[in-house]
């Protein structure tokens, strides 16, 4: 059997069009890699904006609001039309989301986890008493339900509200940007993004680059499409960048 040569990457496609792309890009640059943009999904309003508006008006009376993205904070803030109540208790997946809450007017400490990801946040939340406590959890279709599920299992009364939707860009636009980016690796952070990229450029094209999936749901979607991928031990962009900074040994 011929010896294998470790695969090193230089250009890494970022597929988000929001702050997360900035976090990933900064992490890649810090490790000597070059981020190249290929947005796959775009944000659209929720299917029922009135439900979001009602939820936004209810923030003053909520015991907890638990958010998983900057987009969710922005959507609730825009629907509310005024700053968040200062005393509402909040929890956030990641420091960027926590900062978005503070920017929206939250002055009480925002509960976060030492590391990124819904699992890590639940570890931080699980020590609290949730029996009979009400919590608002903004969602997006296809997003993970881990936090809402765990809160309900712990006895909380959870209200989920659709804050926004992520819809695929036109396939031709995605394919054009992929060709222009000429990446030798890509990071995907949702099953929706994985599906849209596969539909636009094909599984064979993804087979020619290193593919990093953040989260088990994303990895499962890629596997179902026949795309081999790697997953960092920690579900974060920083961990994905570290994984790509190390050369991979190809399988034969």
What's the CATH number where 221 sits? Answer: 3.40.50.10090
183 and 202 share one domain: yes
Residue 252 forms part of a structural domain: no
148 and 178 share one domain: no
The encoded tokens of residue 202 equal 């094909």
What domain count does the chain have? 2
The encoded tokens of residue 204 equal 């064979």
The encoded tokens of residue 182 equal 């000429």
How many Cβ atoms from other residues are within 10 Å of residue 24's Cβ?
24
106 and 81 share one domain: yes
CA-based diameter of the chain, in Å?
Answer: 67
Enclosing domain of residue 209? 11-43+168-245
pLDDT on residue 19: 63
119 and 187 share one domain: no
193 and 125 share one domain: no
CA Rg value for the chain: 19
Given 163, 193, 212, the domain boundary residue is: 163
pLDDT on residue 252: 47
Q: Which helix (H) or strand (E) holds 37?
A: strand 34-37
Residue 61 forms part of a structural domain: yes
211 and 175 share one domain: yes
pLDDT on residue 99: 92
186 and 148 share one domain: no
pLDDT on residue 250: 59
Given 132, 163, 194, the domain boundary residue is: 163
Residue 95 forms part of a structural domain: yes
81 and 33 share one domain: no
Residue 251 forms part of a structural domain: no
Residue 250 forms part of a structural domain: no
Residue 68 forms part of a structural domain: yes
156 and 100 share one domain: yes
Residue 105 forms part of a structural domain: yes
51 and 113 share one domain: yes
- 10-residue block means of pLDDT along the chain (252 residues)? 59 84 87 95 94 95 93 95 90 89 94 82 94 94 88 96 94 97 94 95 95 90 96 87 82 51
Given 163, 198, 215, the domain boundary residue is: 163
Residue 5 forms part of a structural domain: no
120 and 104 share one domain: yes
114 and 131 share one domain: yes
Measured CA angle at 168 (ends 80, 181), to 5 deg: 115
pLDDT on residue 251: 55
Cα separation, 104 vs 15, in Å, equals 26
């Amino acid at each position: 059997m011929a010896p294998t040569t470790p695969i090193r990457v230089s250009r890494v496609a970022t597929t988000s069009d929001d702050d997360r792309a900035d976090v990933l890009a900064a992490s890649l640059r810090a490790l000597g890699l070059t981020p190249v943009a290929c947005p796959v999904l775009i944000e659209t309003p929720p299917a029922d904006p009135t439900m979001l508006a009602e939820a936004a008006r209810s923030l003053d009376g909520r015991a907890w609001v638990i958010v998983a993205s900057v987009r969710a904070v922005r959507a609730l803030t825009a629907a509310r039309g005024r700053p968040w109540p200062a005393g509402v208790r909040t929890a956030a997946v990641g420091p960027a989301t926590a900062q978005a809450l503070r920017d929206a007017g939250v002055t009480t400490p925002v509960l976060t986890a030492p590391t990124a990801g819904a699992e890590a946040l639940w570890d931080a939340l699980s020590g609290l008493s949730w029996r009979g406590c009400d919590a608002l959890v903004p969602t997006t279709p296809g997003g993970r339900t881990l936090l809402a599920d765990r809160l309900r299992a712990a006895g909380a009364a959870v209200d989920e509200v659709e804050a926004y939707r992520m819809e695929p860009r036109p396939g031709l636009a995605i394919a054009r940007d992929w060709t222009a980016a000429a990446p030798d690796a890509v990071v995907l952070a949702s099953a929706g993004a994985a599906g849209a990229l596969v539909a636009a450029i094909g599984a064979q094209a993804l087979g020619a680059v290193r593919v990093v999936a953040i989260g088990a749901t994303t990895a499962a979607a890629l596997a179902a499409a026949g795309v081999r991928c790697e997953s960092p031990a920690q579900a974060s962009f920083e961990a994905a960048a570290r994984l790509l900074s190390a050369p991979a040994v190809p399988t034969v």
